[in-house]
Structure 1
Amino acid sequence: MNSEQLASNQPLRTFDESIFEKVVDDLVSKGFSIQENGLPDFITDALLTRQRCIADEEYKRAGIGRAFNYQKVDTVRGDEICWITGSTPEGALWLDWCAAMQHFINRSLFMGLFSFESHFACYEPGKFYKRHVDAFKGQGNRVLSLVAYLNDNWKNEDGGELVLYADSEDRKGTRVLPKKGTFVVFLSEDFPHEVLPATRTRHSVAGWFRVNGSVNDNIDPPR
Structure 2
Amino acid sequence: MNRDLLASHQPLYVFDEAIFESIADGLVTHGFAVLDNGLPDFLCQTLLDCQASLSEQEYQAAGIGRADDFHHAKEVRGDEICWITGSSEEGALWLSWCDALKQYINRTLFMGLFSFESHFACYEAGKFYKRHVDAFRGQSNRVLSLVAYLNDQWGEEDGGELVIYSNDSDSKGRKVIPRKGTVVVFLSERFPHEVLPAKRTRHSVAGWFRVNGSINQHIDPPK
Q: Deviations over 1:4-42 (max 9, x none)?
A: xxxxxxxxx733100000000110000000000111001
Q: Residue 138 of structure 1: CA displacement?
A: 1.4
Residue 82 of structure 1 corresponds to which residue in structure 2? 82
Superposition map of 1:163-182 within 5 A: 163-182=163-182
- Say whether residues 1:15 and 2:15 are aligned partners: yes
Residue 219 of structure 2 corresponds to which residue in structure 1? 219
Q: What is the CA–CA distance in structure 2 between the aligned matches of 1:15 and 1:74, rounded to whole Å?
A: 41
Residue 208 of structure 1 corresponds to which residue in structure 2? 208
Residue 52 of structure 1 corresponds to which residue in structure 2? 52
Gaps of 5+ in 1: 1-12
Give the number of aligned pairs.
212
Q: What is the CA–CA distance in structure 1 between the aligned matches of 2:15 and 2:90, rounded to whole Å?
A: 15
Q: Residue 219 of structure 1: CA displacement?
A: 1.8
Q: What is the CA–CA distance in structure 2 between the aligned matches of 1:78 and 1:139, rounded to whole Å?
A: 26
For residue 219 of structure 2, give the secondary structure of its aligned residue in structure 1.
coil
Q: Residue 210 of structure 1: CA displacement?
A: 0.5
Matched letter for residue 25 of structure 1: D
What value does the CA root-mean-square deviation take over the aligned residues?
Answer: 1.1
Residue 4 of structure 1 corresponds to which residue in structure 2? none
**Contact persistence 2:159–2:199 (CA under 8 A):** yes
Residue 28 of structure 1 corresponds to which residue in structure 2? 28
Superposition map of 1:60-139 within 5 A: 60-139=60-139
Q: Residue 222 of structure 1: CA displacement?
A: 2.4
Q: TM-score, normalised by structure 1?
A: 0.93
Moved over 4 A (4+): none
Q: Deviations over 1:80-109 (max 9, x none)?
A: 000000011110000000000000000000
Residue 196 of structure 1 corresponds to which residue in structure 2? 196
For residue 119 of structure 1, give the secondary structure of its aligned residue in structure 2.
strand
Q: Deviations over 1:44-99 (max 9, x none)?
A: 01100100000100000000000011010000000000000001111000000000
Q: What is the CA–CA distance in structure 2 between the aligned matches of 1:58 and 1:15, rounded to whole Å?
A: 32
65-74 or 137-146: bigger deviation: 137-146
Q: Residue 214 of structure 1: CA displacement?
A: 1.0
Gaps of 5+ in 2: 1-12
For residue 198 of structure 1, give the secondary structure of its aligned residue in structure 2.
coil
Q: Deviations over 1:90-132 (max 9, x none)?
A: 1000000000000000000000000100000000000000000
Q: Residue 156 of structure 1: CA displacement?
A: 0.5
